[in-house]
Amino acid sequence: MRLTLFLLFGLLFSIGCETPSPEPAASESITSAEAASANRIPDWANDAVFYQIFPERFRNGDLSNDPTRESLETPIDRVPESWEITPWTSDWYARAPWEEARGDDFYEDGVFDRRYGGDLQGVVDKLDYMRDLGINTIYFNPVFYARSLHKYDGNTFHHVDPHFGPDPAGDFALMATETSDPSTWQWTQADRLFLTLLEEAHSRNIRVIIDGVFNHTGRDFFAFDDLRRNQQDSPYTDWYIVNAWDDPATADVNEFNYEGWWGVETLPVFADNADGSDLHPAPKQYVFDATARWMDPNGDGNPEDGIDGWRLDVANEVPLQFWADWNDHVFSLNPDAYTVTEIWHDAAQFLADGGFSATMNYHGFAFPVKGFLIDGTSEPSTFASLLNERREEYPMEMQFVLQNLIDSHDTDRLASMIVNEARQPYENEESAERYGYDWGSRVSPRNTDNYLVRAPNEREWQIQKLVALFQMTYVGAPMIYYGTEAGMWGADDPDDRKPMVWDDLTYDPEARDPLGRSRPADPVAFNHHLFAFYKDVISLRQEHASLRRGDFEVLEADDDSNTLVYSRSLEGETHVIVLNRSDDTHTIRVPFSASGMPEVLFSTTDKGYQLEQDGEALLIEVPALSGLVLQ
């Protein structure tokens, strides 16, 4: 996750995406560590299609538990008393009176204090929607109690946020009686609703993984709250990095100073052990206890009632020894678990050393896809070479479970990436990749006045379908960010976190602009056509094992026509996928020795295509910006 800082009567923050970090140092080849990781790749992950849910913005299923003004992280004197829940269906860029009272800037004056009331009941209510879409694994952004909208400032790792459950007041009262000792921990109503969600999801053959943020906490975390109040007398003095204690002799000044993640005071950082090789033993034990709570809630040794794995935030900012021990702990609780890191560069050695199952595949998937299919600036031959090079950095078993995402809560949305394809020239190919994907100065009106916030046009939707086809037919486990399948668009944080567009709600058109620019009034509604497309392409993947577990081979990469042909093969079943990223129709010659004409299983467009046998080759006429799957 990247931290974006800006002034708002002091420091207000938002959690975004990439944490800048040095490229991994050269290391010895992956040997015994690689073998250990191979044993931590659950078979089910080969068939996974992930669906990422940002809980506060997915569905408000229970109006009685909505957040209150007092629940916000921002100092209460900064939020007008007129604050209220933002209507789910309002124009995203329209500002409420309480926001306008704060100032004139959309991004600095209120949007991060909005709450829409999304909760776990809303997720339960929409499990059948997800099953109908065809996904089989949910990834939740943090569900633990925190004051922010994103919940990466966790105030506990063993309780679901009370405002995600049916009885916030009762839950807070229970939580107030607890310590770090698990014997004092209660099951709140929000916790119990989460367990119900797990049961309901599992009954639909949907697995669930959750976000773990183990390098920092929020300020209301029980240990830090006690430390802040009791200073040197707190039993938690070793849990955090304290630079200075408050001097009681200076009543008008509070000298208490501690390390915050990226210097942000709302995110106090856990201390490491003496030599920096591990977390401090006390918070480490707490994390282990919380981990066990969610993986085996009733403690009977059977993990079926628990979560199915973890996504680990800013994993490279936690010592490797912690991860090695923590993964040992996780897989002792559930040998069929899945642990996936947030690493934005080559993560192969880190995964092996830490004992993880996989990583979010920004480096090996999202970056190259952005260059070729979205921006159209990378040639097919370069794209194919880069895919192979970066995929083969990982052990073979791991390649099939890498989490292949395009967009997330940390990036602009896929549709808006396409609307803004290659808006600015790059100095060279290297800078195009590094700065072409999720670079702050390019992906939001917060930082550039030429980022377009409009809805996609028909050409741009066609490119999104092409991207989705590749995502569902390439090596690795695809992940869809909530609403991508429903036609949502938006710039980087916070615009990528709009409330989900549902077909049973009527939305105001999006007519305002965050910078006051003129723009068309875009209707906002559930895109049934795009949803049907995603449903069909997911079904295609689920119906054919070769598209999930098969070998990958590039058959043709033609830079002149901007076309790519590749195959996926498994146990006698072969599928050939043809992608045309050009704005023109092209006839592609593909080696083909089978008798008879192949069957077209899938097409991204209803425009005509033609197949013709030519000796030991197949001539395929493919419409502009479209793709085919042949068998």
Contact 338, 312 (CB under 8 A): no
State how far the Cα of 138 lies from the Cα of 49, in Å rounded to an integer: 8
Q: Which two tokens stand for residue 354?
A: 């830490």
Residue 173: half-sphere exposure toward Cβ, Cα within 13 Å: 5
DSSP designation for 303 = G
169 sits in which H/E element: helix 168-175
Nearest-5° angle of CA 209, CA 215, CA 220? 95
**Residues with catalytic function:** 313, 342
198 contacts: CB under 8 Å, gap ≥ 6:
208, 305, 306, 307
In sequence order, what are the beta bridge partners of 565?
556, 578
324 contacts: CB under 8 Å, gap ≥ 6:
353, 354, 355
Q: What is the 3-state secondary structure (H, E, C) of 188-215?
A: CHHHHHHHHHHHHHHHCCCEEEEEECCC
State how far the Cα of 361 lies from the Cα of 348, in Å rounded to an integer: 11
Is it true that the peptide bond before 142 is cis, omega within 30 degrees of 0?
no
Matching residue, tokens 């306008």: 100
Nearest-5° angle of CA 377, CA 383, CA 389? 145
Q: Which two tokens stand for residue 250?
A: 């200076």
- SS3 category, 556: strand
Please provide the distance, in angstroms rounded to a whole number, between the alpha carbons at the two ends of the chain. Answer: 40
In sequence order, what are the beta bridge partners of 129?
none
State how far the Cα of 99 lies from the Cα of 573, in Å rounded to an integer: 58
Residue 555: half-sphere exposure toward Cβ, Cα within 13 Å: 19
In sequence order, what are the beta bridge partners of 309?
209, 338
Q: Which two tokens stand for residue 97?
A: 């009176």
In sequence order, what are the beta bridge partners of 270?
240
State how far the Cα of 597 lies from the Cα of 609, in Å rounded to an integer: 14
Amino acid at 406: I
Dihedral over alpha carbons 66, 70, 72, 76 (to 10 degrees): 150
State how far the Cα of 330 lies from the Cα of 483, in Å rounded to an integer: 31
Q: Which two tokens stand for residue 228?
A: 């802040």
Q: Which two tokens stand for residue 399?
A: 């390649």
In sequence order, what are the beta bridge partners of 589?
619
Phi, psi of 190 (to 5 degrees): -65, -40
Rounded to whole angstroms, the maximal C-alpha distance in the chain is 92
Amino acid at 293: R
* Cβ atoms within 10 Å of 497's Cβ, excluding its own: 24
Q: Which two tokens stand for residue 280?
A: 């401090």
Contact 97, 173 (CB under 8 A): no
Calculate helix-pair angle for 458-473, 528-543, nearest 10 degrees: 20
